[in-house]
Amino acid sequence: MRELKVELGRRSYPIYIGRGILSARELYAGLLPPSAQLMIVTNTTVKKLYLAGVKAALSDYVTSSYVIPDGETYKNLDTLNDIVTELLKNHFDRGCWLVALGGGVVGDITGFAAACYQRGVDFIQIPTTLLAQVDSSVGGKTAVNHEMGKNMIGAFHQPRGVIADTAVLDSLPAREFSAGLAEVIKYGLIRDAEFFAWLEENMEKIMARDADALEHVIELSCRNKAEVVAADEREAGLRAILNLGHTFGHAVETALHYHTWLHGEAVGAGMLMAADLSVRQGWLDAGDAERIRQLLERAGLKTALPPKLHGANLRDIMAVDKKARGGRLNLILLKGIGRAEVVADFDEALLSKTLDAFTGRGVPA
């Protein structure tokens, strides 16, 4: 088992990475106070696979569970209200803990419920998708979606621990696995050119789900994110680079009403759009943009948008992005592989050309 730490002073917490650790009673004992009152939140898919094992590992505690429907469309205030109602019905007090057992949707909404319930209770992340293991379970961003924008209602609320069992990835559908690789590739692009090159050399091993390669991928991804979060927990500056591709990707997800595409698929295409705009700005070499495209495709990710989207519509959605300030959109763009920056002074006309190119009305840079 590998162990990392997110260094946040008194709120520091461990990330455990290993095969078969989902049911390791000693890990939970090291995180939880004796006789803690727990509610596990999971979804209909994960319940069938892993809920019984986690419950068995937590049998020393007062444990109940609540199951939400599976899918991004349920990451909303209605589901949040359902979770809080269940906590109240079962008389959970301010000393209770929540356990998020699932992918990014379960982790985000459970974390937000923990942030809100009785003004904040503790929670543990047990991510069951690659995307959640390398990204969303770490860093304390919690949220639900609004029909006008993704993750627009939320709070920063750090977990007390993350338990990432690589064995759960054996049952992950190929499409979900590829979606997680978008966030992995992101770390190479924003701050770790050596990792990006390693991914280029080892993508076939990763796609074959080689155990050693996967542990390395998860460890390096979590290490990169933990370092950024420790330096800028509440996204006052540096942490914004973790959103490479997300402003574009969130606009795609919103335009599709959170149907059709997975979050990681939208982020992958969004990173390619950010690379395209970076080339148009003269900041990124066209050859590096092609390296990015090829790696995304080797990871099984989409590099073209659905034909029904329109550039002007995507731009309107991007206008309400959380990184907008004073009416001005901030984008994460590339000055090279391994070098991302938050940029407000990009050329709006070039952004329109990128959006038009990816929605079938223009030519990629």
* Whole-number CA gyration radius for the chain: 20
Range list of β-strands (E), the chain: 2-6, 13-18, 37-43, 62-68, 97-102, 122-127, 141-146, 149-156, 162-165, 331-336, 339-343
Is position 181 within any domain?
Answer: no
Establish whether 239 is a catalytic residue: yes
* pLDDT value of residue 122: 98
Residue 276 is part of a domain; what is its CATH number?
1.20.1090.10
200 and 290 share one domain = yes
Establish whether 119 is a catalytic residue: yes
151 and 65 share one domain = yes
Establish whether 183 is a catalytic residue: yes
112 and 232 share one domain = no
Establish whether 323 is a catalytic residue: no
**For residue 325, pLDDT beyond 90:** no
What is the token pair recorded at 91? Answer: 């008389």
Is position 164 within any domain?
Answer: yes
Is position 25 within any domain?
Answer: yes
Is position 261 within any domain?
Answer: yes
300 and 275 share one domain = yes
Is position 26 within any domain?
Answer: yes
96 and 152 share one domain = yes
Is position 363 within any domain?
Answer: no
Contact predicate 252/266, CB 8 Å: yes
Asked which of 127, 143, 171 is the last residue of a domain, the reply is: 171
- Could you list the residue range(s) of the whole structural domain that residue 12 is in? 2-171
Establish whether 257 is a catalytic residue: no
Contact predicate 156/233, CB 8 Å: yes
Catalytic residue (one of 225, 280, 302, 353): 225
Establish whether 225 is a catalytic residue: yes
User: DSSP assignment of 252-308, as one string?
Assistant: HHHHTTT-SS-HHHHHHHHHHHHHHHHHHHTSS-HHHHHHHHHHHHHTT---S--TT
**What are the tens digits of pLDDT across the range 156-173?**
999 999 999 999 999 999
Is position 365 within any domain?
Answer: no
**What are the tens digits of pLDDT across the range 249-303?**
999 999 999 989 999 999 999 999 999 999 999 999 999 999 999 999 999 999 9
* pLDDT value of residue 328: 84
* Rounded distance between C-alpha atoms, residue 47 and residue 44, angstroms: 5
* Amino acid at site 187: Y
Is position 301 within any domain?
Answer: yes
Report the b/e string of 116-146 with b at 16+ CB within 10 A.
bbeeebbbbbbbbbbbbbbbbbbbbbbbbbe
Catalytic residue (one of 75, 239, 302, 322): 239
Asked whether the whole model's pTM tops 0.85, one would answer yes
41 and 153 share one domain = yes
Q: What angle do CA 334, 336, 339 make, to 5 degrees?
A: 70
Asked which of 171, 196, 225 is the last residue of a domain, the reply is: 171
Asked which of 171, 197, 217 is the last residue of a domain, the reply is: 171
Establish whether 235 is a catalytic residue: yes
The pairing of beta strand 141-146 with beta strand 149-156: antiparallel
Q: Which helix (H) or strand (E) holds 197?
A: helix 193-207
Instruction: Read off the pLDDT of each residue in 84-110 and give the average, rounded to a whole number.
Output: 97
**For residue 44, pLDDT beyond 90:** yes
Number of domains in the chain: 2
* Amino acid at site 233: E
* pLDDT value of residue 307: 87
